[in-house]
Structure 1
Amino acid sequence: MTEPLIVGAMVRTIGAYPSGWRHPGAHADPQGDAAVLRRIARLGEDAGLDYLFFGDWLATGPDLEFRDPYLLARIDPVSAVLYLAGVTERIGLIATVNSTYADPYATARATASLDVLTGGRAGVNLVTGAEPRAAANHGRDAHADNPARYDRAEEFVRALRLLWESWGEGAWIADAAAGVLIDPERLRPAGFAGEHVRVEGPLNVARPPQGHLPLVHAGTSPRSRALAATEADLALIAAPDLGSAVSARTELRGLAEASGRDPDELKVVVPVLPVVAETDAAARAIVERLLLLVPIDDGGGHAGREAFPANRSLGSFLDAVGVAPDDPARVAAVDDRVPAETARRFAEAGATTLRLVQDRTGLAAGRDLTWRHLIAAHAVPAAFVVGGPAVIADHFERWRDAGAADGFNVLSAFQPAQFEAFTALAAPELRRRGLLGRSGETLRERLSLAAPRPAHAPAAVA
């Protein structure tokens, strides 16, 4: 019998699509994140999801309002999972740590504490950072280059594992009659000194129930793929289509095997942005509304705002899709309907955008499709999977059967309604098909991970 997929939720409290916060009833104020986080956690746990995943970004700025508004103000991920540890009982909790700026001892201490407090439900997503502004926020002149960041990340992983193993099996004796609390021979220092990371230890937190917390890593560079293949338990990939995902998963598994690992030890997970409703038509209507809510240059003053993206105008869209300078569309209003004859002259990029919008909204050129829809879809692309429960489950099943993914990170365009729709409508269908519903007391068990390989050298035999 085929094992259910790994299904987690990638939590973004004001929504994963840039206009999601504008949708009627959507959560839009980070001051109220606590209530939304509790709601998401309870829904995810009740639906049988395997984990909640919290990403991170170590800077902010006005440009993020239009590009990625969920990054403007967000709860620190370790704080978020510690907060949710007290309101959940079964679901895994994965927090992001940036190894370029984090301290390995403090990280090992916080994450081991989370694992102890949750009975083994903690995981760590390790990133090296892609935001240059983060350097100044951490007292540095410049963001480290790619090789230096990954050299440090590899050492960081080694230090974490050594620290997590500070308390060997059987180190805690607690023999009240004999007055012996610990076996000092089983309390081990990390004793790690690399070029970028140095830590002595031991760690002053009890041994994590999982031994080593599951490690997650995402990235596209060769060094990133190598780190995922050799050190990660979960590799996150962002693939634009099924074929790309199959290729990426095959490559990662090959790299894992070449490093001496069993490739089945590496689980490959892809993001998915389902827009879910009771019917396909209702889901398409939600996508249309999201497109109409994307801020674009429509003469209303957006273009004069700081950091407003240059690609959100009719002119920029027409340039991108190859419409001639003398075409009548050049003087159209953004809310005019798109003439079918003009759409037929689009270059490949425009034809792709047109096809995606038509598939996801049901709108057609020459009828209700406007330039605003196309400008928004081209400027703010998203890999929506749109429809009722069967459509969402079909997507999961198709990618699994093609060997494209071992699981999915579910994003919600806006909160909490879209996550509620996923858990209430799609999750039961996934469970009915055997695609959802893994078991295990710890996160390692739920992910079907083998026991961790010891980081400390085996004790010498006398």
Structure 2
Amino acid sequence: MTEPLIIGAMVRTLGAYPSGWRHPGAHRNPAGDAAVLRDIAREGEEAGLDYLFFGDWLATGPDLEFRDPYLLARIDPVSAVQFLAGLTSRIGLIATVNTTYADPYATARALASLDVLTGGRAGVNLVTGAEPRAAGNHGRDAHADNETRYDRAEEFVHALRRLWDSWAEDAWLADAERGVLIDPDGLRDADVRGEHVRVAGPLNVARPPQGRIPIVHAGTSPRSRALAATEADLALIAAPSLDDAVATRRSLRADAVAAGRDADGVRVIAPVLPVAAESTGEARRIVARLLELVPLAEGHQVGRAAFPAGRTVAALADLWEIAPDDGLRNAALDAPVTPAEAARLGSRGEALAARLSAIAGLSVGAAASHPLTWRHLVAAQAVPAAFVVGDAARIADHFEEWRDAGAADGFNVLSAFQPGQFEAFTRLVVPELRRRGLLGRDGRTLRERLGIAAPALAAR
């Protein structure tokens, strides 16, 4: 029998789609994140999801309002999982740590503490950072280059594991009669002396229940892929298509084997952005509304220095190499795209129109019941998103298709807006996933839920 998928939620309180916060009823004030996090944790745990995942970004700026609003102001991920530790009892809690700027001892200590306090539900996503503004926030003149960041990341992983191995499993004796609390031979230094990371140890937290806390990593560069294949328990991929995902998973597993690991030692997780509703028609209307709410270069945005370029019909025409004297450049954003205009868009425009028709039911021509407008085209081009849209059966079909094709071992579920779309997933889609045997993994600890064997204590 095929085992269930690994299914977690990637938590973004302001929503994963840039216009999600504008949707009616959506959460839009970070000052109220505590209540939203409580609700997400309750929903996720009752639904039987395997984990909640918290990403990070170490800087902010006005440009993020239009590109990724959820990054503007967000709770520190380690603080978020500590906040939820006492409010949950079963679900895994994965926090992101940036190895370029974090201290390995403090990181190992915080995560070991979380693992002890939750009975083995901690996980850590290690990133090297792509935001250059983070350097100034950490007293540095410039963000390190890719090679240097990954050199440090590899040493960082080594340091974490040495620190988590500080205590042998039988080091804590607690023999009251003899007055012997520990076996001193079971307490060991980390003794890491790398080019970028140096830490003495031992760690002053008891051995984590999971032994070594599961490590997550995502990225597309060769160094990132190498780190995921050799060190990660979960490898997060960003594959634009089913075929790409199949090839990426196959490559990561082969790289893991080449590094001396079991192929199943690294679980490949793909992102998914479901827009779910009671009916496919209702779900399509939600997507159409999200596209309509994407900020474009209209009068109310004029003069905003941080507003991104490319959110105009003219920019779309340039991208598709439409002649400057073609009247398409002067089309009104809210005017329907006519069949004649659609015919002049070229193959890329036709492909985008077809995709919007498939996911949002938007059709070319003013007479259509849900006409495709230039606003829809510009928004979809400016903010590409791999929506999976429909009722519970349609969303579950996507999960099942990717599993059966060998494209992923599981999914990170993103919600376009909170709380509505997360609740739609947990209350509508989850029962269908369970009915098909796609959800419902066993395990007391996160490592057990992921189906990844605990490593033996390293010899010293």
TM-score by length of 1: 0.98
> 1:320 offset after TM fit, Å?
1.5
Task: Tell me the distance in 1 between the aligned counterparts of 2:384 and 2:392.
Answer: 23
- Which 5+ residue runs of structure 1 have no aligned equivalent? 458-462
Structure 2 gaps of 5+ residues are none
In 1, Cα distance between equivalents of 2:452 and 2:359: 37
The aligned counterpart of 1:418 is 421
Deviates more, 1:313-322 or 1:111-120: 313-322
Cα distance in 2 for partners of 1:403, 1:195 equals 39
In the alignment, the residues of structure 2 paired with residue 209 and residue 117 of structure 1 have an alpha-carbon distance, to the nearest angstrom, of 9
CA RMSD of aligned residues (A): 0.9
Partner residue, 2:3: 3
Aligned: 1:335 with 2:338: no
Q: Partner of 2:316 in structure 1? A: 317
Contact 1:97 1:127 in 2 (8 A): yes
Tell me, in whole angstroms, the C-alpha distance in 1 between the residues paired with 2:343 and 2:242. Answer: 27
Q: Which residue of 1 aligns with 2:220?
A: 220
Name the CA shift for 1:3/1:106 in 2 (closer, same or farther; >3 Å).
Answer: same
What is the one-letter code of the residue matched to 2:237?
Answer: I
Which residue pairs with 2:159 in the alignment? 159
Count of paired positions = 456
Aligned-partner Cα distance in 2 for 1:248–1:454: 31
Partner of 2:436: 433
The alpha-carbon deviation at position 456 of structure 1 amounts to 3.9
- Taking only the aligned residue pairs, the percentage that are identical comes to 72
Q: What aligned pairs does 1:436-455 form with structure 2 within 5 A after superposition? A: 436-455=439-458
In structure 2, C-alpha distance between the alignment counterparts of 1:134 and 1:327, rounded to whole Å:
44
**Partner residue in 1 for 2:377:** 374
Alignment partner of 2:440: what SS? coil
Q: Indicate the residue corresponding to 1:363 in structure 2.
A: 362
The 8 Å contact of residues 270 and 409 in structure 1, kept in 2 or not, is answered as: yes
Find the residue that maps to 2:16 and give its secondary structure: coil
Matches of 1:91 and 1:276 in 2, distance apart?
23
- 402-411 or 310-319: bigger deviation: 310-319
Deviation at 1:152, TM superposition (A): 0.6
Q: What is the Cα deviation at residue 146 of structure 1?
A: 0.8
Whole-Å Cα distance in 2 between the matches of residues 182 and 223 of structure 1?
Answer: 41
Partner Cα distance (1:213, 1:102) in 2: 17
Cα deviation, 1:159-212, whole Å, max 9, x if unaligned, reads 000100111111111111111111111011101111110000010001000000
Query: 2:300 corresponds to which residue?
Result: 301
- Return the offset for 1:39: 0.3
Equivalent position SS for 1:290: helix
- In the alignment, structure 1 residue 406 sits paired with structure 2 residue 405: no
2:38 — aligned with what? 38
Range with bigger deviation, 61-70 or 303-312: 303-312
Counterpart-to-counterpart distance in 1, 2:223 and 2:302: 38
Who is 1:397 aligned against? 400
Deviations 1:219-266 (A, max 9, x none): 000000000000000000000000110111111011101111111111
Which of 391, 396, 409 pairs up with 1:388? 391
| Distance in 2, Cα, partners of 1:272 & 1:395 | 9
User: For 1:87-106, what aligned pairs fall within 5 Å after superposition?
Assistant: 87-106=87-106
TM-score computed with the length of structure 2 as normaliser: 0.98
2-structure distance, mates of 1:321, 1:441: 53
Kindly state the Cα deviation for residue 330 of structure 1 after the two structures are TM-superposed: 2.3
Amino acid at match of 1:340: P
Query: Per-residue CA shift, 1:302-358, capped at 9, x if unaligned?
Result: 142121111101110122223332222222211111111111221232122111111
Q: Give the distance between the partners of 2:197 and 2:224, measured in 1 at CA.
A: 18
Distance in 1 between the 2:394 and 2:434 partners? Answer: 14
